[in-house]
Structure 1
Amino acid sequence: MNKLGIFMNFWEENWAADHIKYINKAAKIGFDILEFQAQPLLEMDNSRLDEIKKAAADAGVLLTFSVGLDKKYDLTSADSSVRSGGVEYLKRIVEKVAYLGGDIISGVSYEGWGSPSEIINYDDKQVRRERSINCMKEIAGSAAGYGVTYCVEAVNRFEGVVLNTAVEAVDYVKEVGLDNVGVLLDTYHMNIEENDMGEAIRHAGSLLKSFHTGENNRKPPGMGTLDWDKVFKALKDIDFKGNIVSEPFVQMGGEVGRDIKTWRNLIPDPTEEKLDVAAKGLLEFTQSMLRKYDM
């Protein structure tokens, strides 16, 4: 069965939090993986990283990492100093991930996260894409030296310009041309951008290195309208063996609510206890789909 995980900020309103608390919580609920934003790692010294690494090992929890790249490090910027700063910033994040024993990093890690304020046309999109690819070759080359796979995530039009679909993500990865660069697809974003989620998954094929699940409304899987049979049949068709991490965001408030644009609580009165119950439910739902498709 594929390893199953959850994103830490299902519970937390801010990106930085008590990672050890959620490592232990994920293990207690039954998850194999805890995923969280990698940027806060840069604020930690090695002694704190050692504590997190030990806690994960003791709990039997794999750590995976995501990036929503701040625009001041935008790899698509026309300003070469911004791009070079982004390259060095992401190299430092890769080093921290590797120190923790992580082997995969993903997210909007190839451009500044969020749609730009200026008008974008097709030609500008292609120029931005080329700048990003040139930077990615250097970042991913460094990541390869640490044994880290760097996944680029196709996101919806409101959160990014360069990669919105599986076709765009696959073409990007092929042009980068490094074995440790892969695709991450996310059902929430796919529901907005893809004509057929099953075909998008099949198109990614062996380049699909990790997978995020979330409902059409960003609730946990099973609490919305997505066709999960189509999703899991496609994953079965490509013999997907990678991680499946659920990334629901259901609370308003804090950095997470602001950045994700969650302007109401999607689970009424989202106490920690209620969120724990929902997390257990999404795990059981995902396990049932894996059993159904003999994965």
Structure 2
Amino acid sequence: MKLCYQVATPDVAIADSVTAYQGPLEKSFYDLASFGYDGVELMTLNPSELNWDFVRKEAEKNKLDIVLVCTGEIFGQLGLSYTNPKEEVRKEAIRRTKEIIDFASALNANINIGRIRGQYCSELSKEQTEKYAVDAFKEISEYSGKKNVEIALETVTIMQTNFINTLEEAVNIIEAVDNPYFKLMMDVFHLNLEEKDICEAIKQYSKYNIHVHLADNNRRYPGHCGLDFEKIITTFKECGYNRNFCTEIFQIPNQEAAAKGAINHLRPIFDKVYGKK
């Protein structure tokens, strides 16, 4: 089990909306290691612009594991998705995902699928949207399996997309894809908005889960608002989850304060629940 923080690579445009530590990787990795994090999750847009060996060595130098590469900004900054009505857009979304899979494979990491899955729209039927998504998921899963990269499908609140909002909906898709490399990830912020009971939902679908995002119920750092993280993390532990947890939070009031606030709240809980390393 590792406690991680999300880091934007330099190809991602700096913006207040980015839920990751930003700036040169040398500083990001150094800062987060000094705060006490075990690893990082990378937010990446154009891996071809990066020196992959440099990224790996900087993480190793700071004794940080790179656990996952997220695909969110392919949609967030480029507007690409697997369910866009335009075929060329769907193909480009898949191509860029495969590029991120290659990058993740070189780092011995996994990837996630968030908003890049797209959404229902008036131009396509519900059935056609789901077919495009499942076809894309099957294609990228077959590709990722050859690279030994797992894909974590993230449920996302309806306030960001109207497609795959609940864990039940995600698991239905996962079973339709039917590939051992295509699994589930749970984001506590989204679970709080879309599930009747966070902990009961974790228990019900834990066997599919391979990655966790942590944020308080206002998307700020854990401990900033109302979620009971000791109860939530204990539930994951009781379900046998022993993989990685990563913050995905707004960098408020600034990234240094957010990163410190998160680990100051979370580390004592993890030490209590999972035991000190």
Asked if Structure 1 and Structure 2 have the same fold, meaning a TM-score greater than 0.5 normalized by the shorter chain, the answer is: yes
Q: Is structure 2 residue 71 aligned with structure 1 residue 67?
A: yes
Alignment partner, residue 246 of structure 2: 245
SS of alignment partner, residue 172 of structure 2: helix
Structure 1 CA distance for aligned equivalents of residues 111 and 71 of structure 2: 7
Q: 2:60 aligns with which of 31, 47, 57?
A: 57
Structure 1 CA distance for aligned equivalents of residues 91 and 122 of structure 2: 24
The 5 Å alignment of 1:1-295 reads: 2-8=1-7, 13=15, 17-44=23-50, 48-63=51-66, 64-68=68-72, 69-70=74-75, 72-99=79-106, 101-108=107-114, 110-112=116-118, 118-119=121-122, 124-251=125-252, 267=253, 270=254, 275-294=255-274
Alignment check: 8 A CA contact 1:73 1:89 kept: no
Distance of aligned partners of 1:38 and 1:280 in 2 relative to their CA distance in 1, 3 Å threshold: same
SS of alignment partner, residue 163 of structure 2: coil
Runs of 4+ in 1 over 4 A off after TM superposition: none
Alignment check: 8 A CA contact 1:41 1:96 kept: yes
Structure 2 CA distance for aligned equivalents of residues 244 and 60 of structure 1: 17
**Identity score, percent:** 23
SS of alignment partner, residue 125 of structure 2: helix
Alignment check: 8 A CA contact 2:5 2:41 kept: yes
Alignment-mate amino acid for residue 75 of structure 1: Y
Which is further off, 192-201 or 279-288?
279-288
| Shift in Å, 1:216 | 0.8
Q: Deviations over 1:106-131 (max 9, x none)?
A: 1416513xx67x559xx934431221
Q: TM-score, normalised by structure 1?
A: 0.81
SS of alignment partner, residue 8 of structure 1: strand
Q: TM-score, normalised by structure 2?
A: 0.85
Unaligned runs of 5+ in 1: 252-266
Q: Provide the aligned C-alpha RMSD in A.
A: 2.3
Which is further off, 199-208 or 226-235?
226-235
| Shift in Å, 1:132 | 0.6
| Shift in Å, 1:239 | 0.8
The number of residue pairs the alignment matches comes to 262
Structure 2 CA distance for aligned equivalents of residues 189 and 156 of structure 1: 5
Structure 2 CA distance for aligned equivalents of residues 187 and 96 of structure 1: 26
Structure 1 CA distance for aligned equivalents of residues 80 and 116 of structure 2: 10
Alignment check: 8 A CA contact 1:184 1:209 kept: yes
Unaligned runs of 5+ in 2: 9-13
SS of alignment partner, residue 39 of structure 1: coil
SS of alignment partner, residue 61 of structure 2: helix
SS of alignment partner, residue 162 of structure 1: coil
